[in-house]
Amino acid sequence: MQSIQANNYLVHFNQNAYEALNTHLKENKYSNLFIIVDNETNEHCLPKFLPLLETDLTIEIIEFESGEINKNIETCIEIWKVLTELGADRKSLVINLGGGVVTDLGGFVASTFKRGVDFINIPTTLLSMVDASVGGKTGVDLGNLKNQIGVINVPQMVLIDTQYLETLSQSEMRSGLAEMLKHGLIYDAAYWQQFLDLKSIDYADFDELIYRSVEIKNEIVIQDPTEKNIRKALNFGHTLGHAIESYFLESETKQTLLHGEAIAIGMILESYISLHKNLITAAEYAEIKIAIQSIYDNVTIEENDIEPILELLIHDKKNEYGLIQFALIEGIGKIKINQSVENKLILDAFEDYKS
């Protein structure tokens, strides 16, 4: 597969990825190498990765506990301390080997340590391959509020190797699929149709679909790296999806949702809003809802859950001048950004989802 040119870096695929990495290590005079992993990727992915690495650099492994709950500034402080203790300097290289939590947090750690050291991302989940791999967003959560602290800073390169998907559960794979569906809905109707045409979802044969998903996100980001305009399209499903994800993360009575599970709900809700703002037809809404619900189980949202979910919208980082901004689909494959939505329509969307 041909590498994809992103903003000032390349996304390399499968075997080509390791050739690119090892060439980069030979051509740059790094002082040492730090690989940031969580306990899951330390066990399942690191043993696959290390034998493919060709370098004489001293390699140190830094591990933290997996999960969104650990994507916070406290984890960053611990890693910064370890980097300091192990002699990291401005010529060190950080490799983030893991899912979106690892690449988001590790990218932020590297971007801020000694005012910035080089880093490379190797996403190991479907979600991180098609989402976190492109765009340069790094950061951590603030309490239960997602991605409130961070910077946009691009890696030296991104390596996507689909062999790591063999280590994932079906639920993790479905989580990543949500972002792929989103890319079709906002940008490429033919890509969306490819998913509708699948007789069954066989993740073993997903390489071309993953490649196109990365391509779509990159085509959007390259036009608008700092999210002033068209990049906001990528927020479809995320305004309500993030609020739902945060609420379930904080709740003592709810089971935590995977990111893609929350975004799947968000896409149904925001498609309903698109319908009632006359941006899509009833047939398109039905198609979207049926397709998503055929992949994801319905999540129970009680009446008393809705108000605290809506309160979380106030903290959405996409808000401007105190207004909640939505990106809504305008037909399948098109998007309309900066859409204000009245509260009643949001409540109606929840009612429709619950029915």
Q: Do residues 132 and 177 share a domain?
A: no
Q: Work out the pLDDT band at 293, boundaries 50, 70, 90.
A: very high
Catalytic sites, residue numbers: 115, 137, 179, 217, 227, 231, 235, 238, 242, 259
Percentage of the chain exceeding pLDDT 70: 98
The answer to whether the beta carbons of residues 181 and 267 sit under 8 Å apart is: yes
Q: Work out the pLDDT band at 315, boundaries 50, 70, 90.
A: confident
Q: Do residues 134 and 176 share a domain?
A: no
What region, left, alpha or beta, does residue 227 occupy, with left being phi > 0 and alpha being psi -120 to 50 degrees? Answer: left
pLDDT one-digit tens code per residue, 80-100: 999 999 999 999 999 999 999
Domain end position, chosen among 103, 136, 167: 167
Q: Do residues 285 and 316 share a domain?
A: yes
Structure tokens at 2: 């041909």
Q: Do residues 183 and 239 share a domain?
A: yes
Q: Do residues 228 and 317 share a domain?
A: yes
Q: Work out the pLDDT band at 316, boundaries 50, 70, 90.
A: low
Q: Work out the pLDDT band at 9, boundaries 50, 70, 90.
A: very high
Q: Which domain holds residue 12?
A: 4-167
Q: Assign residue 139 the CATH number of its domain.
A: 3.40.50.1970
Domain end position, chosen among 148, 167, 186: 167
Q: Assign residue 236 the CATH number of its domain.
A: 1.20.1090.10
pLDDT one-digit tens code per residue, 145-177: 888 999 999 999 999 999 999 989 999 999 999
Residue-level pLDDT at 199? 73
Q: Do residues 187 and 99 share a domain?
A: no
What is the rounded distance in angstroms from the CA atom of residue 308 to the CA atom of residue 144?
12
Q: Do residues 327 and 192 share a domain?
A: yes
Residue among 28, 177, 175 nearest 90 (CA): 28
Q: Do residues 193 and 327 share a domain?
A: yes
Q: Do residues 122 and 263 share a domain?
A: no
Structural element, H or E, at residue 23: helix 14-27
What is the rounded distance in angstroms from the CA atom of residue 219 to the CA atom of residue 240?
24
Structural element, H or E, at residue 176: helix 170-187
Q: How far apart are the first and last CA of the chain?
A: 44
Q: Work out the pLDDT band at 205, boundaries 50, 70, 90.
A: confident
Domain end position, chosen among 133, 167, 201: 167
Q: Do residues 51 and 194 share a domain?
A: no
State how many domains the chain has: 2
Q: Do residues 198 and 83 share a domain?
A: no
pLDDT one-digit tens code per residue, 228-258: 999 999 999 999 999 999 999 888 899 999 9
Q: Do residues 57 and 119 share a domain?
A: yes
Averaged over 102-107, what is the pLDDT? Answer: 98
